[in-house]
Amino acid sequence: MTRRLLAGILCFLALGVAVTAGASAATTPTGPVYDAKGRLVQTPFAPAPGTAHRTKQHVLAAFEANPKVEAWLDRYPSKGLVDEETYDPKLASWTVKIWWGKAGEIAEGRVDDASGVVLEAWTGPQVAWKMGRGYKGAFGGDKINNPWIWGAFCLVFLVGLADFRRLLSVRNLDVLMLLSPTASLWYFNHGDIFTAVPLIYPVLAWVVIRGVWIGATGRGSRARPLWPAWILLAAAVFLAGFRIGLNVQASNVIDVGYSGVIGGERIVHGEAPWGNFPVEGKLKACGPADAAGEIRERIQTNGRCESANPQGDTYGPVAYEAYIPGFLLFGWSGKWDDLPAVHFTSLLFDVLSMIGLLLVGRRFGGFRLAATLAFAWAAYPFTQYASNSNTNDAIMPCLLIFGFWLVSSPVGRGVFGALSGWTKFASLVVAPLWLTYPDRRPSGRFVAGFAAGTLAAFSVVLLEPSPLHELRVFWDRTVTWQIGRDSPFSLWDWRQYYARGLPDLKLVQHVLQALLVAGALAAAVVPRHKSPLQLAALTAALLAGFELVLTYWLYTYIPWFFPFAAIALLAPAALHRPHEADAENPQLEQPQPVPAG
C-alpha cells in the first residue's frame, strides 16, 4: 500500500513538472513582456555567451540560398558536395565552406548568427584569389580606379591622339582599341572575373594583327592629331607632374613591388635574392595577426623582424637590382609599410620610359613624333595603373625602349635587350628579331652585347658560396614556378574549376604558344629588310602575343607592349632609318623615308 502511494505521488510530481515545463516553453517570449502598467515582467530567452543561435543545417541552407552561391553550385553535381560550418563566437558569425571533387573548395562565406543574413559570399576563383573579389582600390588605390579620374585619362588620350578630320580612320580605331581594356577592368573591379577576362583578348589580338601588318608592309599612319606638337609636349609635362602626385599621395604597393625592395636589400647585404626571402613558417612572431588571423611578421634567419613574402623571388635579377638605388636612398624597415623605396623606383622608371619615348620619337620622326610618344605614355591610363600599383612592370619596357633608341648600335641593342629580358622574361621573345635587325643577318656584336648584359645581371649569384647552386635555385624559383602556376585571370586555366559552362582551352593555348615561337623565329628573317617602324611593330606584336598565351595575366602587363604599339600605331609617318644603321651595313642603299600608307 505504501509503495503504491509513493509511486502515485512521484507520478503526480513528474506530471506537474512536465506540464509546468511545457507551459513555460509554450509561453517563452521572443521579446520583452510588460504588464498592463508597462512594467517589465519577463525577458526573452537568450543563449549563453558564445553559444550559437542557429544550427549548422540552418546556416548551410541560408548560405546555399544566396543567389550568387546558388548559381555557382548549380554548375556542379549535388552528389559530390562536401560542406563545413564553423561558428566564431568573437564575430558571432559562421564560416561556411563547400568543396567538390577535383575542383577543391568552390564556395566560402560568412553568415550572421543572429539574423541568418549572408555577410560574405565568394565563389569559384574568388575563394582562393582575394584579388579577384573586387575589393575597392586593391590595385592602385581608390583614386586611379575612380571613374572620373580614369575617364579623364581616357578622354585626354583620345582627344590628343585621335584624327578628328577622318572619324572613320584606322587611327581612331587604334586609339579606341588601346583604351578598350577599360571595360574589362571595370568588371574586374566588381569581382566579375568570368566577364572581365574575355574582354582583354580583343586588344591583344588587335595589337598582334596590326603589328604583323605594319611589320610586313612598313606603312605608318597617315593621321594627324588635332593638337599641335607643342601642346602635346606641354600636356605630357603637365600629366607627368600629375602622375607623380597621384603616385605619392594616392597609391598602394602590391606584393610585386614589395618583392623588389626585399631583393634589393638582400643584394646590398651580400645575398642573392632567390631562396632568401622572408617567410612565415614556424619562425618567432614579431607582429600582430592580420584580418585573416595570420601573423606575417616573423624574426627571419638574419635576425630582423620582416613581413613575409615567400613567393616574391620569382623574377629575373634585374627586377631586384633596379630597386637598389631606391633602397640606398630610403632604406627598408622590414615591414610592408609605405615603402618609399618602391614608390621611388616606380616613379623613376615611369619617368624614364617617357623620356625614352621622347628620345625615340626625336631620333626617328622629329619633334612631332617625340611629343606624340611622350604624351601617349603620360596620358595612357594603364601606364598610370601600373605606376599606382607600384609594380615592377615599367622596368622591362623601359629598358627595351632605350634598346630601341640605340637600335643602330648592335652592342647597345644587345645590352638593353638582355637587361630587359632578365627582368620579367617576356621580352626574351623579341631577341631573335633584334638579333637579325635590319637585314636577316645575325649580328655578332649583338650577341656580345647580350652576353655582357646577361653576365652583369647575373653577377649577383657570385654573392653566394656556390654560384652554380644559386643558379639552380634561380631556375626552380622563377622559370619552373612561373610555368607551373595556375590562374583564373586568363582563359587558359578555367578548367581547374571543373564547372559546367567553362571551357577547357588548354589545347588551344598550346597551339597558340607554338605559333608564338614560330612567329618569333619568322620575324627574325621576314621581311628581309626592316625599318625602325617595322621593328617596333613586330616587337609590339610579339610582346602582345606573349601576353595572349600567358596563363597568369594582369592589367599591369599592358605597359609591356604599349610603347612599341604606340610607335607603330601612332607614328605620323613611317620612321626614318638612322644613318648609323647604314654604316654597319654598307651594302644597303642609302635609305629613304617610306611613303605613308
Which residues make Cβ contacts (< 8 Å) with residue 575, sequence separation at least 6? 220, 364, 365, 369, 531, 532, 533, 536, 567
Residue 557 near residue 545 (C-beta atoms within 8 A): no
Residue 347, phi then psi, degrees to nearest 5? -65, -35
More confident of the two residues 290 and 92: 92
The predicted structure's pLDDT at residue 289 = 85
State pLDDT tens for residues 49-88: 568 889 999 999 999 999 999 999 999 998 999 999 999 9
Residue 307 near residue 335 (C-beta atoms within 8 A): yes
Three-state DSSP class for 293?
coil
Residue 378 near residue 354 (C-beta atoms within 8 A): yes
How far apart, in whole angstroms, are the C-alpha atoms of residue 417 and residue 445? Answer: 13
Kindly give the pairing relationship between strand 297-299 and strand 305-307: antiparallel
DSSP state of 285: B
The predicted structure's pLDDT at residue 578 = 60
| Averaged confidence pLDDT in the chain | 89
How far apart, in whole angstroms, are the C-alpha atoms of residue 376 and residue 551? Answer: 28
Residue 315 near residue 259 (C-beta atoms within 8 A): yes
User: Using alpha carbons only, what angle is made at residue 418 by residues 353 and 539, rounded to the nearest 5 degrees?
Assistant: 60
How far apart, in whole angstroms, are the C-alpha atoms of residue 501 and residue 124? Answer: 13
Element (H, E) at 416: helix 410-424
The predicted structure's pLDDT at residue 68 = 96
Percent of the chain whose predicted confidence (pLDDT) is above 90: 82
Which residues make Cβ contacts (< 8 Å) with residue 509, sequence separation at least 6? 491, 492, 549, 551
Question: At residue 48, does pLDDT exceed 90?
Answer: no
Question: At residue 569, does pLDDT exceed 60?
Answer: yes
How far apart, in whole angstroms, are the C-alpha atoms of residue 67 and residue 87? Answer: 22
Q: Which of 343, 349, 102, 367 is nearest to 233 (CA)?
A: 367
Every domain of the chain and the residues it spans: 56-123, 141-252+341-583, 259-290+298-340
The predicted structure's pLDDT at residue 213 = 96
Q: How far, CA to CA in Å, does 212 sit from each of 378, 535, 537?
A: 26, 10, 7
Which residues make Cβ contacts (< 8 Å) with residue 336, sequence separation at least 6? 253, 258, 296, 307, 309
Question: At residue 297, does pLDDT exceed 50?
Answer: yes
Look up residue 359 and give its three cell numbers.
628620345
Residue found under cell 638579333: 435
Three-state DSSP class for 152?
helix
Question: At residue 497, does pLDDT exceed 60?
Answer: yes
Question: At residue 7, does pLDDT exceed 50?
Answer: no
Question: At residue 330, does pLDDT exceed 70?
Answer: yes
Three-state DSSP class for 110?
strand
More confident of the two residues 221 and 268: 268
**DSSP codes of every residue in 431-461:** HHHHHTTTTSPPPHHHHHHHHHHHHHHGGGG
Confidence of residue 564 (pLDDT cuts 50, 70, 90): very high
**Burial (0-12, 13-18, 19+ Cβ within 10 Å), 282:** exposed
Instruction: Give me the count of residues in the chain.
Output: 597
The predicted structure's pLDDT at residue 49 = 55
How far apart, in whole angstroms, are the C-alpha atoms of residue 177 and residue 179? Answer: 5
**DSSP codes of every residue in 194-210:** HHHGGGGHHHHHHHHHH
Element (H, E) at 562: helix 558-570
